Amino acid sequence: MEREEMDEVDEMNEAKSIGIDVGGTFTDIVGFNGDFFHIATLSTAEVISKPEILVDLLDKLQPYRVTFGIAAWVRRGKILRAPNLPDFQKLEELAKFEYRMLNDANCFAFYAAHITGFHNVFAVTLGTGVGSGIVINGELYEGHGLAGEIGHVYAGGSEKCVCGGVGHLETFFSGWKIKEKFGKELDRAELLGYEGFDVLCREVASAIMILDPECVAFGGRISSLLEDGDFRIGIGKYLMPEFEPEFVVIKDPLAVAKGAALLAALRR
């Protein structure tokens, strides 16, 4: 699916809920009224520097509920840190709307559970950073608010992470690390041959053996370059044979926004 500047939205398709994916480069906006529909894709830099653009758009749509999926550590709706998203504080100017702020990987996890039909899902997003979300018995699991930060588990070494920590998974495998190391994006063959991919697989395998999910779903720009079997093989060698989750790559660039819209619609 190609990103577009703006889709025509029929007046009859008034959104009951809206999901907004604030990514490092783009901000995708999706409505939900029983079906998902793409509303707009905007520049994140522009949205953060001029929040009124988003405010004006939401004013026109008059949604019942809004949920943001943002690449940040979120506890009880408050953003604690966003290593890959500077100046996120400006989004607080949207306070005139009733909205919920969630980690983007959590929104992706909920959408993954929705479209795969599995009730127990571990989801991993591979883009600028590495995130993960957990769905247990059909419900989003947030722990004390920060559950699923697999990108910042200690994976070895002493290299500094963008968050300020050292030896995190993102220092081995992430969009920012690949760009720093190679100066370009890698294709599928290069990703599979990159030693950082093996570190990623090892850490995901550890999470699988703790959670024992029915499904492990992958999303994000880097994941879209890979196939289900790539993860099944790469992760499988670190798993005990009794662990047999389904591996799924969801190649939908609007998945986070759709998950956010769905969570907004179902919010009590």
Mean pLDDT computed over 138-144: 94
Q: What is the mean pLDDT of residues 118-126?
A: 98
Total length of the chain: 268
Interval 199-237: pLDDT, tens: 999 999 999 999 999 999 999 999 999 999 999 999 999
pLDDT, mean over the chain: 89
Q: Which domains does the chain have, with CATH numbers?
A: 11-106+255-266 (3.30.420.40), 118-249 (3.30.420.40)
Question: Which pTM was predicted?
Answer: 0.90
Task: Tell me what pLDDT residue 198 has.
Answer: 98
Task: Read off the pLDDT of residues 39-67 as tens digits, 9 standing for 90 and up.
Answer: 999 998 888 888 888 888 888 887 778 99
User: How high is the pLDDT of residue 79?
Assistant: 82
Residues ≥6 apart with Cβ < 8 Å to 105: 123, 124, 125, 131, 132, 133, 148, 256
264 has pLDDT over 50: yes
Of 154 and 77, the one with more pLDDT: 154
Residue 1's contacts (CB-CB under 8 Å, 6 or more residues apart) are 252, 253, 254
